[in-house]
Amino acid sequence: MTTTYKVLIIGAGPIGIACALECKKKNWNYVVIEKGALTNSLFNYPKNMTFFSTSEKLEIDEIPFISNNPKPNRDEALEYYRRVATSNELNIHLYEEVLTIKKSKDDFEVSTSKTQYLADKVIIASGFYDIPTLLDVPGEDLPKVTHYYNEAHPYAMQDVVVVGASNSSVDAALEIWRKGGNVTMVIRGSEIGERVKYWVKPDIINRIKEGSIKAYFNSEVVKIEETEITINTPNGEMTLANDFVVALTGYRPNFEFLINAGIKLSDDNARLPHYDPDTMETNISGLYLAGVICGGMETHKWFIENSRIHAKIITEHIEALSTKNE
């Protein structure tokens, strides 16, 4: 006989963990389904990444996050969320992908890569880091091209093009240059991104100004080949010698998954999913959104620090509905 969970949570990132903690405090029968490792997005961040937020702003459920510096790094965050999940014995199923969500009259049928579940309520807290925003140029599928950056060592003594001007692009460019890579940045805009960490921005600007890192502003990649890359600049097309392309052009939520679940999206480029900000409930009764996925293509809108509250908002709404129906 299939167990019917009161709440099924999709995604075991910080916000999914926060939702699980709230469910456990209320003694609800819940389960968290995660297609990768615990806090899979954080796990795939660059090894030396430092958060913009301070450690107390990354805390969930008022559980202290102690780090060596005011702004913790990736490994400290992984340790923190791992300890929160294990010490609280949260019911999390890892390496299991949710494929479909179907609303029936009384509950939700959730099919995964391993089995099927029934749940009264479903919370989608799956983030947006799994699907990169593509350049859509010839050669983007070559092995030399990546949309994720882990560490600098493989790029030592290589000609590397870093595409983008965000925090991730700037961090990658600086680290690769410091490890002996020959770095060229290709930037669609006229300057380094305005949201780049304030302690990093002067560093990249000075490296560009002194010529250590070459940067082409108001420029785009035209095509990628085995040993070259062609870019379109204000001065016309240029072809550069190239060994690797690190295209850090952003990521997006799995909109197809949301649409298939019945969630409406805005018609503009933002593709904002429909939900009530007072309850986080979508246009599908009993189906909720939590965390950064709420921002659609506006991936800079929600972070751990300002979406932690979603867990309490959702569980308080579910509890109020349960009380009302008793």
Tell me what the pLDDT averaged over the chain comes to.
94
> How far is 64 from 79, CA to CA, in rounded Å?
12
Report pLDDT for 160. Answer: 98
Chain centroid offset of residue 131 CA: 9
Rg of the chain on CA atoms, in Å:
22
Domain 4-131+251-325 part of CATH 1.20.1250.20: no
Per-residue pLDDT tens over the stretch 278-311 = 999 999 999 999 999 999 888 778 888 889 999 9
Decide: 163 and 215 in contact? Cβ < 8 Å: no
Is 0.75 topped by the overall pTM?
Answer: yes
Over residues 140-161, mean pLDDT: 96
Over residues 38-44, mean pLDDT: 92
> How far is 61 from 25, CA to CA, in rounded Å?
10
Over residues 63-84, mean pLDDT: 94
Over residues 135-148, mean pLDDT: 96
Report pLDDT for 48. Answer: 85
Q: Per-residue pLDDT for 2 more than 90?
A: no
From-to residues of CATH 3.50.50.60 in the chain = 4-131+251-325, 134-247
> How far is 161 from 173, CA to CA, in rounded Å?
9
4: which residues sit within 8 A by CB, 6+ positions away? Answer: 29, 107, 118, 119, 120
Report pLDDT for 153. Answer: 96
Decide: 213 and 207 in contact? Cβ < 8 Å: yes
Report pLDDT for 321. Answer: 86
Report pLDDT for 136. Answer: 95
Q: Per-residue pLDDT for 31 more than 80?
A: yes
pLDDT band at residue 114, thresholds of 50, 70 and 90? Answer: very high
Over residues 111-129, mean pLDDT: 94
> How far is 99 from 38, CA to CA, in rounded Å?
18
Q: Per-residue pLDDT for 251 more than 90?
A: no
3-state SS of 82-140?
A: HHHHHHCCCCEECCCCEEEEEECCCCEEEEECCCEEEEEEEEECCCCCCEECCCCCCCC
Bridge partners, residue 313, by sequence? none
Report pLDDT for 308. Answer: 92
Can you say whether the dihedral through the CA atoms of 150, 152, 155, 159 is positive or negative?
positive
> How far is 267 from 185, CA to CA, in rounded Å?
33
Over residues 10-39, mean pLDDT: 97
pLDDT band at residue 3, thresholds of 50, 70 and 90? Answer: confident
Give the CATH superfamily of 134-247: FAD/NAD(P)-binding domain (3.50.50.60)
Calculate what percentage of the chain has a pLDDT beyond 70: 99
pLDDT band at residue 75, thresholds of 50, 70 and 90? Answer: very high
